Amino acid sequence: MLYASTGVLDANLICVEAYLKTYYPEFDVITIKGKQKLSARRRLNTLMSFFSAYYLIVDHAIPRFLTNKKRKIYNVWHGIPLKTIRHFDNKRFKETFLDFESKNLNGLVCSSMLDMAVMSACFQVPPSRCILSGLPRNDLVFKGQLEWYEDVQEARLIENLQGRKLVSWMPTYRGTWYENNEIVGFSESDECQLFDFLKANNAVLGVRPHKFSCLQPFPLLEAEGLLLDLKEYDVTNTVLKHTDILITDYSSVWLDYSIISSNICLYLYDAQKYDGERGMIYPLDTVFPGDISYDFNQLLMALNQSMESMGNNLSKGSDLFFKYRDNNNTKRFIEAILDE
């Protein structure tokens, strides 16, 4: 059973589901989304599925009514954490929740030896329970089609780009997950300069907020047809596959993108405020390979430099964060849990 506790099917779970259905048709693969209103019959059927499942693969949290006494429970998480999570961020969680998760996890996906050490500490599980397979979702960033997965939305994204370059703005959320705060990183003057930059380079701005936030409107870009709402596309890593320049902040999305490109602009316009809000596991200025922009003028300079270096921006990701740089992460994860 695959369980999306936030109600949104994470790309890691999407990959696991597709791989199992392609290569293991003998398995009964059931996918459940949390935070859904169900009828009494559906609720009963869901509970029966939970209790009868031998493998439970989650993206964030384990249902509190299940333990690993009669099943194996694995967490594919969602990305390589840069911000403090779980036991490193225990002010945001109840101790009983953290202890329950640590006790009942049989396996936790990791991307490198460093990531394994960090995830082991964050979740308080021994390294022996960490599966060094790489994140399943990173199978999706490479050009070409996987034999076992096709994103049906990809053709629509290509059509909407109309041959233009894609500059993707993908910030993380601010505050708490339930506040749905608006992210405002650009002024009206900034938008005018973005307009000039996009027009000069045959590009569009794609905006994709974190699922726990929303992004400010860009009325000028929208009116001129230079804005794409990337929320229309469910799988972030498919969007990254077609992104020419990525703008982000404290999100680990740039690590996924760094496997295929170095055209990354880190835009920390509210660094002083954010540093007091969330702690960081790694100092960004030590792990980010390029220059960091703290205001729009610096960002615009970085965007122009990225545009000029287009075609010479191949990247393989840092050894610190990636043991594997291929599209076999899902395969390694599935084989690891079945071998157990």
Q: What is the pLDDT of residues 177-228, one digit of tens each?
A: 666 677 778 999 999 999 999 999 999 999 988 776 678 889 999 999 999 9
Q: What's the pLDDT at 274?
A: 67
- Short-list 167, 144, 154, CA closest to 326: 144
Q: Does residue 323 contact residue 112 with C-beta atoms inside 8 Å?
A: yes
Q: What's the pLDDT at 80?
A: 94
Structural domains of the chain ordered from first start: 2-141+325-339 (3.40.50.11820), 154-308 (3.40.50.12580)
Helix residue ranges, H only, 279-340: 284-287, 296-308, 329-339
Q: What's the pLDDT at 57?
A: 97
Helix (H, G, I), strand (E, B) or coil at 122: helix
Q: What's the pLDDT at 218?
A: 92
Rounded-to-integer distance, Cα 103 and Cα 100, Å: 5
Separation in Å, CA 232 to CA 87, 176, 228, 252:
34, 24, 9, 21
Q: Which residues of the chain have pLDDT under 50?
A: none
Q: What percent of the chain has pLDDT over 70?
A: 94
Q: What's the pLDDT at 178?
A: 66
